[in-house]
Amino acid sequence: MYEQIAKNRAASVITIIGFIIFIGFVGYAVGLILDYNYAVSGAYSITLLIFALAIACIASFFSYYYSDRIVISLTKARAITLDEDPRLYYMVEGLSIAAGLPMPKTYVIEEQGMNAFATGRNPKNSAVVFTRGLIDNLNDEELKGVISHELSHIKNYDILLGTVIVIFVGMLSIISNIIFRVFLFGGGSRRRSSSKGSGGGIFTIVILLIGVVLIIFSPIIGAVIRFAISRRREYLADSNGALISRYPAGLASALRKISSGSGVSTANSATAHLFIANPFTKKTRPLFGSLFNTHPPVEERIKRLEKMSLGVGM
């Protein structure tokens, strides 16, 4: 457990540092090309490098401290109180005590698809989110299994890495579009028209093609990043969650029900990996979504939980 927490913290730090370096590299590369186009020695490259690093640092700061609020806002979740839903509130409170965690803030998404996720930067600043369909369609043991799964993500610090990734994957898509627009509308360069002739034109065409490739493949790159961090952590959260609830059959039964309808309309490609099950339907699934599914097969998850239960409740 402690080893996994340490790994997640280290992975979060590495991800943030890597993001800053990547954004700085992109800014510098764009500046070099603008220097080439406009025959300016280092003016654009140094300026854009400094600008990109500043943006990356600001984005990293906000992703650490405010990404959970951004995720909750994106999914249109709202906070619930004890008076509004005492059943859910007391379950979250009791299982948090059992897990040795402070009680996270509890939110609900008013949708009939059955799903849930946890977000935040640490156990003291965390939140659990459930859809209305999940709350209404699961019995107490099944709901406890799902809550325990999400609390496990909080205890393991999966929430920090997963929530930071939401911001960075979103920015990856934005950056690819910015690069494309820079080269598309900045193609009429003084340098190309004056001294480089057809060579400069070929160079710009190559860069435009790179921009197009970035736009096409940025969703795949983002999916690969999420794929790399999600699957093993879902298995671990299943097993640790079963230990918190002390009833693996409850989560197994919940996963069976969830698999029949887990779609959430407010989910997107940046937030999908946070959910306990794939939040996309056939209509909302993004391009190449099935190739890089961030969630392990439900059948395999159920099979592992059945082994833990030793037949009890199955």
- Give CA–CA dist 133/126, Å, rounded: 22
| Residue 111 appears among annotated catalytic residues | no
- Give CA–CA dist 236/240, Å, rounded: 6
Per-residue burial over 20-34, b = 16 or more CB atoms within 10 Å of its CB, e = otherwise:
bebbbebbbbbbbbb
Contact 63, 167 (CB under 8 A): yes
Please tell me which residue in 150, 234, 300, 306 is annotated as part of the active site: 150
Reduced to 3 states (helix: H, G, I; strand: E, B; else coil), residue 269 is: coil
- Give CA–CA dist 249/312, Å, rounded: 7
CA trace torsion 87, 89, 92, 93 (10° rounding): -110
| Rg of the chain in Å (alpha carbons) | 23
Residues serving a catalytic function are: 150
